[in-house]
Structure 1
Amino acid sequence: MRMLSTLALAAGLACAPLIAPTSVSSAYAADIQATGKSDKQALIADLIGRMTLDEKIGQLRLISIGPEMPQPQLIKEIAAGRVGGTFNSITQAENRPLQDAAVMQSRLKIPMFFAYDVVHGHRTVFPISLGLASSWDMGLVEKTARISAVEAAADGIDATFAPMVDISRDPRWGRTSEGFGEDPYLVSQCARASVKGFQGASPANADSLMAFVKHFALYGAVEGGRDYNTVDMSLQRMYQDYLPPYRAGLDAGAGGVMIALNSINGQPATSNRWLLHDLLRKEWGFKGVTVSDHGAIDELLRHGVASNGREAAKLAIEAGVDISMADTRYLEQLPTLVKSGAVPVALIDDAVREVLGAKYDMGLFADPFRRIGVAAQDPADVDAESRLHRAEAREAARKSIVLLENRNQTLPLRKSGKVAVIGPLTDAQIDILGSWSAAGKPRQSVSLLQGMRDALAGKGEVIYARGANVTDDARVVGYLNFLNWDSPEVVQDKRSPGEMIDEAVRTARDADAIVVAVGESRGMSHEASSRTSLSLPGSQEALLKALKTTGKPLVVVLMNGRPLTVNWEKDNADAMLETWYAGTEGGHAIADVLFGDENPSGKLPVSFPRSIGQIPTYYNHLRIGRPFTPGKPANYTSQYFEEESGPLYPFGYGLSYTTFSVSEIRLSSPKLARNGTINASVTVKNTGKYAGETVVQFYVQDVTASVVRPVKELKGFRKVLLAPGESRAIEFPVTEDTLKFYNARLEYVAEPGDFNLQIGLDSASVREARFTLE
């Protein structure tokens, strides 16, 4: 007889109403309800004790429905106990027969879990993660993740492969768009907020998803910005700069980790026992489940650390890879490895324990159908307009926009006259969604052209010309369309470049102002889309230069998923907005900012280089012995002599339609005692004529330390809304913990001595004061 009489809901499930049993699997839920006791480990131990080796290995397989395995075959595999979960099946109607196969046909009736890449929205698409980070608003980041979870859970999804928290300091990397930028502190804050939003009060709740932090680890540091490449990095840099965001997401309660595709110091992450066991589980105490990235176990052969599938499976399971995603190595190799004694069954049991534990924490043993429901309650139209959260998407997009230039107060535009809306990304409903847009539908997104027309309806006129293709390079177009397996995303206008530019110039001359949308198609800022150039494609540069000759006010709207080298644009645009990929309501949000219904408040979470030769150009680089100092001779200092040193736009930069002043820093004491606190405060004043928000940023520089330390490090920030003429004191506490770092022995310490404390509105323009840690 099954040992279920002592089982009950896990801690945290009490706040989630238990849905009425819907299948034979209700035996778990019925006994849980009857006893009123909670013993997660007893249930798991009982199941492991009754599972065959093949059933255990089945729990370690994550399969994608589709060409890889059509639904009829997948149902048979599930019923036979050979699949533990799926990804990319994203509706209740798709998932119900799969769960039925698990809990009605399989021997032990262990529920499935269903996962999806819900990164920056599900049916409602919010700005890409880089855009959300530009808001510097953690409440907003959490809110967008919460809405994403509610929408995805309503479609029968249990887990998301998000947040993506890889530190990215090389914008050539296409996946820069998926992350939150270059800074450990800001990315860590975004990681915490995202996990909290996705999981809510508990990942077991019917409107929550379990978060899988990814990609563990160091994926954003791939050599040359080339996707899937190698990483060679000192432990000190790992601990100081690249590992904190993963740790922050796990400390916030994330139940899962997705493993990176790159190698680390010669060992692929998928076979890296130090990474997955010594660091993740032993040092950090992680108790959740790990999953490989797509096909990564098989890729150990191409990495050259395994000579065959048997070795690959053995390396992965020994390293600590619980779930194998989208390959057959575990299925094919683990049975013989265990039977031969090459892999102890205890390793398999450990992995199964984590998988079952994750399912328990998702609430699936209490009710496998808690997110799927019954067929009678399925939405008549999964893409129905009523299922979207448009107001929240518009709010998020507004706050993600960064004002880079605004000469002679070109913006905000007046809601009158004629506005020429031009550019290859002006009417691009699919591109405005950005990469990894989950279940978002391009037909439901608002393009910039539509947003401008809606804003000027009955007040002014919008005139339109495409002006150029995103690129005229046929090779690039072919590559981008190959990446999209559904249908071509980059559709070329068949007219010649000259014809398109001539039409755009005629249109612009008939307007009072020009708004031109340029940048990258979404496929250009995507997985496997690393670039050797960060400039606008030649077709777009030619368009901008032609429009400049008209003499009309030129407003450049950038749409992109990485920093670009926009030197000409900086010098020649009358105004310029960085809008990233703004999501479902992007067109309305951009129009709100252009016409002044929203005062832009975004700040850059990444530095913009002047040229690709400057990379990396992150703000918190280590100090050096011969630094370049502006205004002093450049010879024999660390700089490039062909162009001005420093970024084109620094980390934390962003303008407003109003202006702000920051007072000198006031310190409560010039000395900080161990276990004590001093307070640093400034007065911020709105000195302009518009109400507006800004982000007050707090940085610290360690003047002298046992190892070389960064020129400055972000340690805090506050977003503040001020009316014209209003002032407010902003205070930052400084403790010993604020000053800690990893020394050469990987000890987390704060060393005595002097520190420069900096407060300002971006990383380059700061006030400074000095204090001493005793």
Structure 2
Amino acid sequence: MKKIFFLAVLIIFASFKTNDSSSKDYKDSSLSIDERVEALLPKLSLEEKVAQMRIFHANIGVEHDENGKLKLSDRVVEKLKLGIAGIKNPGEHIDAVSAAKLNNELQKYIIENNRWGIPALFVTESYNGVDAEGCTKFGRPMTSAASFNPELVRRQWDVVGREARLRGMHMCHSPEADIVRDPRFGRMSEAFGEDTYLTTQMVKNAIIGVQGDYEGLGKGTHIGAVAKHFAGYGQVLGGSNFAAIEISERTLIDEIYPPFEVAVKEAKALGIMASHGDLNGIASHGNPELLTGVLRDQWGFEGYVVSDSNDIARLFYFMKVAESPEAAAQMGLEAGIDIDLYAEDSYAYLPEMVRKNPELEKLIDRSVRRVLRTKFILGLFDNPYIDIEEVKKGVRIQSSLELAKESDLESIILLKNEKSILPLSKDKSLKVALLGPLLKENTKEMFESVAGSNVKFIAEKGFQLTNQKGGAPELLDRDPKAIASLVNKARSSDVSILFLGGDEYTAKEAYFSNSTLGDRATIDPVGPQDELVEKIKALGKPVIVVLKHRRTLSINVIAEQANAILDTWDLSEFGDQSTARIIFGEVSPSGKSPVTIPRSIGQIPFHYSMKEINYKKEYLFLAKGPLYPFGYGLSYADFEYSNIAISNTELTPDTELEVSVKVTNIGNVKAKEVIQMYIKDEIGSVTRPDKELKGFKKIELGAGESKTVSFKITPKMLEFTGLKMKKVLEAGDYKVKIGTSSQEYLETTFKLKK
């Protein structure tokens, strides 16, 4: 009897032990991800846990030596003894195959030199494709937004995800989900524009693309996205990086949060990066209501939150909301920051802090779970290496290069086309001058490849805009000889194409160092660009301007003087070739402006969806309205909108409406058009926007062809934050506006009844 009792006790004890996660093997791929995390976490020492909460940059000593073997600095070797959360940009300056080899060797070293064989996350950025040598270079996000084609953006970011993974990367600190409305801000082109709905659609598709519809993460074909900067970073006061951010709670909820919420709930982003700035006086990196309350408790985010560069430590020495570096580390940890990016004076203090305050280890465990979970999702414990033979088959392949060209063609915006000067004919003998400071070395070659033998080109850059110093570039003095030479080139030609605007030196990120600047106090084109346009126009010959830039510019003189303007923002590596194809009529332009283009910096803030009361008064001595409105863009075809119709004039909280319009191409060429739907709430309990974009569709029509385009109107579209700071759906009158831009449309009405 005693033997039976003893055996029963053993069986019961064994069953308890089997169910204990610490008895499970985290290397067992048959376990769930959560089970594997819980099996590994208790094994780690405090120092090993903290190591899983830090990322350093590869530029401190990760490279290949002269024999092509992994070479690590003493500093890197020391950092990797306990493992690491991740490394930023390993192999960024070498080709894809070499980078894949380097990252395989690096990962092998990391796995073999920490006790538990924990792999590292290798992290990149993706502003115009993978931010690394030898990958396909796409246009910047603002350029992509001009396409008004989310499916195209998804395909583009799918390539980004595939190329990054083949280099051995696992995460990207992209895309930006910020709304940008101030062209003084040097990082403007990194985001998708001024509008909440457009940005939301683009961010969602970028994340789904780069993550391979989430399924690509575990299969090892794609990388994880880190949406940034949460929240309100694009709204820095004065457009000055690191400045304060003041946004009403209502605007935050209705306009700033939605792209991030969709990134979490629908696109399933693996990571979120916190904002450099404060938010209404509360430093974002020390804001538990934002990083835990909104992000996790409200939206259910399960991924990790990473700091922006050194920003936890800056809670002490810059934001001055923490009493000491240790207090800053605790503030970031309690707020919900899981990974410290770069800093040596922040989370590095956590082990000693825990010895004084053991309760902090619970928060450390919380963060480490999130980091380990990400590594398991990405399959790094089971398949940490890249198949080198696959790299050449997947990086810069022809289909990816063709996609870059396709994206360019759909993103170029025709702002002006006086007397239909464009497209130019390839069939007529023509001498064309390619002139101006934004001309590239291969621009002439790209135009020649498109135009054929009848068109002859001469090209001259003339002058640079700045001295091109990386930190704080300075404007160059006006060069009268250079201007005269450009004018003479134009005089000897039949038509001049001027490449004007701005470049990577006139609009860029203003890093923390005081010696690095990137924001501007004015938005007029710099240097003698306006003078150049006026002098060449005075010759009495046609002037076409190709506008290249990374921030919105007030191009009043260009708009007045040029016969045609193509706004290209910042296109792919094939940008000039794509521009030539538009100019010579191979494709009709179909881009639409993702921002409002002001006449003067004095109009800022100035976006199409401002409150209706903002439009009551104009300014003395300034023409009315924007230079070009949001959603504006011409075509080589003319489109006629007619027969707007709505399925019902009443909507209830439980029903939907359908609104439609007939669009006819009354031109003589096949072309694409973006049909835009805006909704205006006529009366609200709080002051309401003048109009809000709620839908858009891009269609292609042959000459003379018509299509009826329909949109659904749902009660969800009409919700906003009411008097009591709760989402409300208010009964009343609404207008629906469907058209070719935010200022040119047909409209109809309906009532919401409750």
Give the TM-score, by structure 1 length: 0.87
- Following superposition, the deviation at residue 483 of structure 1 comes to 6.2
- Give the secondary-structure state (helix, strand or coil) at the position aligned to 1:182: coil
Query: What CA deviation, in whole Å up to 9, does each residue of 1:275-318 have, x standing for no partner?
Result: 10111111111000110011111211211112321111111111
Contact kept? 2:33, 2:376, Cα under 8 Å: yes
CA distance in structure 2 between the partners assigned to 1:102 and 1:508 by the alignment: 60
CA distance in structure 2 between the partners assigned to 1:693 and 1:388 by the alignment: 22
Contact kept? 1:693, 1:720, Cα under 8 Å: yes
Contact kept? 1:448, 1:590, Cα under 8 Å: no
Name the aligned partner's letter for residue 180 of structure 1: F
CA distance in structure 2 between the partners assigned to 1:607 and 1:599 by the alignment: 22
- Following superposition, the deviation at residue 82 of structure 1 comes to 4.7
Contact kept? 1:75, 1:98, Cα under 8 Å: no
- Following superposition, the deviation at residue 673 of structure 1 comes to 2.4
* 1:217 and 2:231 are equivalent in the alignment: yes
- Give the secondary-structure state (helix, strand or coil) at the position aligned to 2:292: helix
Name the aligned partner's letter for residue 451 of structure 1: M
* 1:516 and 2:498 are equivalent in the alignment: yes
* 1:501 and 2:512 are equivalent in the alignment: no
Range moving further from structure 2, 521-530 or 274-283: 521-530
- Partner of residue 539, structure 2: 550
CA distance in structure 2 between the partners assigned to 1:146 and 1:69 by the alignment: 28
Out of 181, 189, 213, the residue aligned to residue 169 of structure 1 is 181
Query: What CA deviation, in whole Å up to 9, does each residue of 1:650-683 have, x standing for no partner?
Result: 0000000110111142111111122112211110
CA distance in structure 2 between the partners assigned to 1:148 and 1:483 by the alignment: 31
Name the aligned partner's letter for residue 503 of structure 2: S
* 1:204 and 2:215 are equivalent in the alignment: no
Query: What CA deviation, in whole Å up to 9, does each residue of 1:415-462 have, x standing for no partner?
Result: 24211000111116xxxxxxxxxxxxxxxxxx4333212223423211
CA distance in structure 1 between the partners assigned to 2:211 and 2:470 by the alignment: 35
- Following superposition, the deviation at residue 68 of structure 1 comes to 7.2
- Following superposition, the deviation at residue 389 of structure 1 comes to 2.7
Contact kept? 1:707, 1:743, Cα under 8 Å: yes
- Following superposition, the deviation at residue 602 of structure 1 comes to 0.3
Contact kept? 2:60, 2:76, Cα under 8 Å: no
* 1:541 and 2:530 are equivalent in the alignment: yes
Name the aligned partner's letter for residue 95 of structure 1: N
Name the aligned partner's letter for residue 744 of structure 1: L
Contact kept? 1:61, 1:330, Cα under 8 Å: no
- Partner of residue 119, structure 2: 111
- Following superposition, the deviation at residue 74 of structure 1 comes to 5.2
- Partner of residue 149, structure 1: 161
Query: What CA deviation, in whole Å up to 9, does each residue of 1:681-707 have, x standing for no partner?
Result: 110111111111111100111111111
Out of 564, 567, 581, the residue aligned to residue 575 of structure 1 is 564
Contact kept? 1:420, 1:508, Cα under 8 Å: yes
Q: Describe how 1:224-303 pairs up with structure 2 within 5 A.
A: 224-251=238-265, 252-301=267-316, 302-303=318-319
Contact kept? 2:679, 2:734, Cα under 8 Å: yes
Range moving further from structure 2, 704-713 or 38-47: 38-47
Q: Describe how 1:696-711 pairs up with structure 2 within 5 A.
A: 696-711=675-690
* 1:318 and 2:329 are equivalent in the alignment: no
Query: What CA deviation, in whole Å up to 9, does each residue of 1:356-396 have, x standing for no partner?
Result: 01111111122121xx336x77769x9x9658832111111
CA distance in structure 2 between the partners assigned to 1:74 and 1:156 by the alignment: 22
CA separation of 1:627 and 1:452: change in aligned 2, threshold 3 A: closer
Contact kept? 1:620, 1:712, Cα under 8 Å: yes
CA separation of 1:390 and 1:627: change in aligned 2, threshold 3 A: closer
Name the aligned partner's letter for residue 204 of structure 1: G
Name the aligned partner's letter for residue 553 of structure 1: P
Contact kept? 2:123, 2:173, Cα under 8 Å: yes
Contact kept? 1:58, 1:82, Cα under 8 Å: yes
Out of 350, 356, 359, the residue aligned to residue 375 of structure 2 is 359
- Give the secondary-structure state (helix, strand or coil) at the position aligned to 1:174: coil
Name the aligned partner's letter for residue 240 of structure 2: R
Contact kept? 1:63, 1:69, Cα under 8 Å: no
Q: Describe how 1:348-747 pairs up with structure 2 within 5 A.
A: 348-369=364-385, 372-373=386-387, 389-415=400-426, 416-427=429-440, 447-471=442-466, 477=467, 480-482=469-471, 497-528=479-510, 529-624=518-613, 627-628=615-616, 638-747=617-726
Name the aligned partner's letter for residue 46 of structure 1: A
Q: Where does the alignment leave 5 or more consecutive residues of structure 2 unmatched?
A: 1-13, 64-71, 92-98, 511-517
- Partner of residue 72, structure 1: 73
Could you say which structure has the greater relative contact order, defined with CA pairs below 8 angstroms and 6 or more residues apart? Answer: 1
Range moving further from structure 2, 593-602 or 734-743: 734-743
Contact kept? 1:469, 1:540, Cα under 8 Å: no
CA distance in structure 1 between the partners assigned to 2:399 and 2:359 by the alignment: 49
* 1:346 and 2:362 are equivalent in the alignment: yes
Range moving further from structure 2, 57-66 or 39-48: 39-48
Range moving further from structure 2, 410-419 or 395-404: 410-419
Contact kept? 1:514, 1:554, Cα under 8 Å: yes
- Give the secondary-structure state (helix, strand or coil) at the position aligned to 2:612: coil
Contact kept? 1:653, 1:761, Cα under 8 Å: yes
* 1:336 and 2:352 are equivalent in the alignment: yes
CA distance in structure 1 between the partners assigned to 2:627 and 2:390 by the alignment: 54
Identity of counterpart residues, as a percentage? Answer: 33
- Partner of residue 84, structure 1: 85
Give the TM-score, by structure 2 length: 0.90
- Following superposition, the deviation at residue 5 of structure 1 comes to 10
Contact kept? 2:438, 2:501, Cα under 8 Å: yes
- Following superposition, the deviation at residue 173 of structure 1 comes to 0.6
* 1:63 and 2:56 are equivalent in the alignment: yes
CA separation of 1:616 and 1:450: change in aligned 2, threshold 3 A: farther
Q: Where does the alignment leave 5 or more consecutive residues of structure 1 unmatched?
A: 9-26, 429-446, 472-476, 485-489, 629-637
CA separation of 1:594 and 1:559: change in aligned 2, threshold 3 A: same
Name the aligned partner's letter for residue 629 of structure 2: P
Contact kept? 2:313, 2:343, Cα under 8 Å: yes
Out of 37, 40, 46, the residue aligned to residue 44 of structure 1 is 37
* 1:139 and 2:147 are equivalent in the alignment: no
Contact kept? 1:145, 1:197, Cα under 8 Å: yes
Contact kept? 2:182, 2:239, Cα under 8 Å: yes
CA separation of 1:181 and 1:727: change in aligned 2, threshold 3 A: same
Range moving further from structure 2, 305-314 or 401-410: 305-314
The CA RMSD measured in Å over matched residues stands at: 2.4
- Partner of residue 633, structure 1: none
Range moving further from structure 2, 117-126 or 277-286: 117-126
Contact kept? 1:120, 1:145, Cα under 8 Å: no
Contact kept? 1:752, 1:772, Cα under 8 Å: yes
Name the aligned partner's letter for residue 738 of structure 1: M
